[in-house]
Structure 1
Amino acid sequence: MSKRTAVRRAGKAGSREGINPRQPCPCGSGRRYKACHGSAGGAEDVLVTRPFAGLAAEPELVALREFVPSATARLPLREDVAAQREITLATVLPMAAAALVRADGTAFVGLQVQTRSGDISRDVARAVRWALTAEPGDALPVVGRGTGEDPGRLQDLVPADAVLEPELHPDFAWWIPEDTQPTGEVALSLERANSAIMPTERVTGAGVRAAYWVDAGEKAHLRWVRPEPEERLLAAMARLSARGELDLGEGSRYAGSFRAHGTLVPVWDLDRERHSREWAGPAEALAKRLDDALATVESEPLGEAERRARDGLRGRQVTLR
Structure 2
Amino acid sequence: MNPRQPCPCGSGKRYKACHGSAGGVVDVPVARPFEGLAGECELIALREFVPSGTAVLPGAGADEITLATVLPMAAAGLVRADGVKFVGLQVQTRSNDISRDLARAVLWARDAEPGDVLAVVGPDTDAGENPERLQDLIDATAPLEPVVHADFTWWMPEGSEPTGEVALSLERANGAILPTERIGPAAYWVDAGEKAHLRWVRPEPEEQLLAALSRLHAAGELALGEGSRYAGSFRAHGLLVPVWDLDRELHAREWTDGATALGERLDAALASVESTPLTPAERRARDGLLGRQITIR
Q: Is the 8 A contact 1:84 1:133 kept in 2?
A: no
One-letter amino acid matched to 1:264: L
Asked whether 1:136 is paired with 2:114, we answer yes
The counterpart of 1:269, out of the listed 235, 239, 245, is 245
In structure 2, what is the equivalent of residue 259 of structure 1? 235
CA distance in 2, matches of 1:109, 1:146: 17
Asked whether 1:278 is paired with 2:258, we answer no
One-letter amino acid matched to 2:69: T
Q: Is the 8 A contact 1:202 1:213 kept in 2?
A: yes
CA distance in 2, matches of 1:74, 1:304: 46
In structure 1, what is the equivalent of residue 22 of structure 2? none
In structure 1, what is the equivalent of residue 72 of structure 2? 94
CA distance in 1, matches of 2:179, 2:27: 37
The counterpart of 1:75, out of the listed 57, 69, 80, is 57
What pairs up with 1:23-102 in 2 under 5 angstroms? 45-77=27-59, 83-102=61-80
The counterpart of 1:159, out of the listed 120, 139, 146, is 139
CA distance in 1, matches of 2:232, 2:103: 32
Deviation (angstroms), 1:132: 0.7
CA distance in 2, matches of 1:139, 1:68: 23
Q: Is the 8 A contact 2:80 2:156 kept in 1?
A: no
Deviation (angstroms), 1:231: 0.5
Query: 1:134-188 deviations in whole A, cap 9, x for unaligned?
Result: 1221110001012232441111112222111111111111111123221111111
One-letter amino acid matched to 1:222: L
In structure 1, what is the equivalent of residue 193 of structure 2? 217
CA distance in 1, matches of 2:113, 2:149: 27
Query: What TM-score comes out, normalization by structure 1 length?
Result: 0.82
CA distance in 2, matches of 1:161, 1:292: 25
Query: What TM-score comes out, normalization by structure 2 length?
Result: 0.89
Query: 1:248-289 deviations in whole A, cap 9, x for unaligned?
Result: 011100000011111100000011111101111111111111
Query: 1:218-237 deviations in whole A, cap 9, x for unaligned?
Result: 10100000011101100000
One-letter amino acid matched to 1:63: A
CA distance in 2, matches of 1:124, 1:73: 14
Specify every segment of 5 or more residues in structure 1 that has no aligned partner in the other structure, as ranges. 1-27, 30-43
In structure 2, what is the equivalent of residue 32 of structure 1? none
One-letter amino acid matched to 1:271: D
CA distance in 1, matches of 2:158, 2:265: 45
Q: Is the 8 A contact 1:103 1:137 kept in 2?
A: yes
Specify every segment of 5 or more residues in structure 2 that has no aligned partner in the other structure, as ranges. 1-7, 10-25
Partner SS for 1:257: strand
The counterpart of 2:211, out of the listed 222, 232, 235, is 235
CA distance in 1, matches of 2:136, 2:198: 32
In structure 2, what is the equivalent of residue 125 of structure 1? 103
In structure 2, what is the equivalent of residue 298 of structure 1? 274
Q: With CA pairs under 8 Å and 6+ residues apart, which has the higher RCO, 1 or 2? A: 2
In structure 2, what is the equivalent of residue 148 of structure 1? 126
One-letter amino acid matched to 1:178: E
Deviation (angstroms), 1:59: 0.5
Q: Is the 8 A contact 1:130 1:148 kept in 2?
A: no
Greater shift in the superposed pair: 177-186 or 61-70: 177-186
Number of corresponding residues: 273
CA distance in 1, matches of 2:28, 2:65: 27
Asked whether 1:196 is paired with 2:196, we answer no
One-letter amino acid matched to 2:78: L
Asked whether 1:179 is paired with 2:155, we answer no
CA RMSD of aligned residues (A): 1.6
One-letter amino acid matched to 2:52: S
Q: Is the 8 A contact 2:214 2:289 kept in 1?
A: yes
In structure 1, what is the equivalent of residue 295 of structure 2? 319
Query: 1:272-321 deviations in whole A, cap 9, x for unaligned?
Result: 11110111111111111111111121211111001000010000001111
